[in-house]
Amino acid sequence: MDGVGSFGAGLAGAAFDPVSFIKQPTTLLRVLSWIFSLVVFASILNEGYVNLGSERLHCVFNKNADACNYGVFCGLVALLLCSFFILLDIKFQQISSVKDRKKAVMLEVGVSGFWTFLWFVSFCFLANQWSRTDPENLPLNQGADAARAAIAFSFFSILTWAGLTVRAIQKYLLGTDMTLFTADHLDGVTMVTPYPSDTTGGSTEPTGTYQSPPFTEGLDAPAPTYQVPIY
């Protein structure tokens, strides 16, 4: 697991290193997911509808508009989610609160896992509808390449989002390293040092050398004599 500290990040407030950020496996998976989502979204939106001798456009997936709509929805929302989490990864190390970091990681686990499932449904749905498509409904094989691209990159998206889910779970299990945070970072909770306990059950007595009370150094010295003034 790359990075150390609280949920895989380093010291809160440390400088951002773009080179190491780009080399992280999570960032690479995020970029690949962004590209795959764009391919699915653009393929269906640009060539996923054909005109069969009328002004009405039909979806290339067995004329099922729900298949095209679902593919566009998954691709577009996944595109926005990837952009959001890339920005969150950049700002993650600047989050000083452990609780806020935990919430961000839990959000990443939930969204990544859920979108892995949606991509699996998208792949099965589009592949099923494409297998039922009559070749006569696609003159000159129109839209076939776009349909195959949408199906293929839906499958690739399952792999990348599953990888993101695993990375997020690893980050969550990594837990927190409280040594990276000062008392000011712990949501205003200050660390109090407890009194030393006596293992024998008795009272605790202070240890150390005896010190003489103040203002006693000159008690044994002879008292000064004063001459009584005569008026």
- The secondary structure of 112-153, three-state, reads HHHHHHHHHHHHHHHHHHHHCCCHHHCHHHCCHHHHHHHHHH
CB 118 within 8 A of CB 72: no
**How many CB atoms are closer than 10 A to CB 183?**
11
Contacts of 126 (CB under 8 A, 6+ apart): 61, 67, 70, 71, 147, 150, 151, 154
Statement: the pTM of the whole predicted model exceeds 0.85: no
- The answer on pLDDT for 12 being more than 70 is no
Confidence (pLDDT) at 135: 80
- The answer on pLDDT for 37 being more than 60 is yes
Confidence of residue 4 (pLDDT cuts 50, 70, 90): very low
Q: What is the pLDDT of residues 143-158, one digit of tens each?
A: 889 999 999 999 999 9
Average pLDDT rounded to a whole number, residues 67-92: 94
Q: What angle do CA 137, 125, 132 make, to 5 degrees?
A: 30
- The answer on pLDDT for 180 being more than 80 is no
What value does the mean pLDDT of the chain take?
78
Average pLDDT rounded to a whole number, residues 199-211: 51
Spatial CA neighbour of 6 closest among 86, 104, 102, 87:
102
**How many CB atoms are closer than 10 A to CB 19?**
6
Q: Which residue has the higher pLDDT, 7 or 52?
A: 52
Please state, for a pLDDT cut of 90, what percent of the chain lies above it. 44
CB 57 within 8 A of CB 12: no
- Average the pLDDT over each of 49-58, 98-107, 141-150 and give the range with the smallest value: 49-58
Average pLDDT rounded to a whole number, residues 169-190: 59
The rounded distance, in Å, linking the Cα atoms of 141 and 50 is: 10
Q: Kindly state the tokens that stand for 58.
A: 């039909």
The rounded distance, in Å, linking the Cα atoms of 73 and 158 is: 15
Confidence of residue 207 (pLDDT cuts 50, 70, 90): low
- The answer on pLDDT for 182 being more than 50 is no
- Average the pLDDT over each of 89-93, 114-118, 164-168 and give the range with the smallest value: 89-93
DSSP run (H or E) holding 89? helix 65-92
Instruction: Please report where in the chains the tokens 């989490």 appear, as a residue.
Output: 85
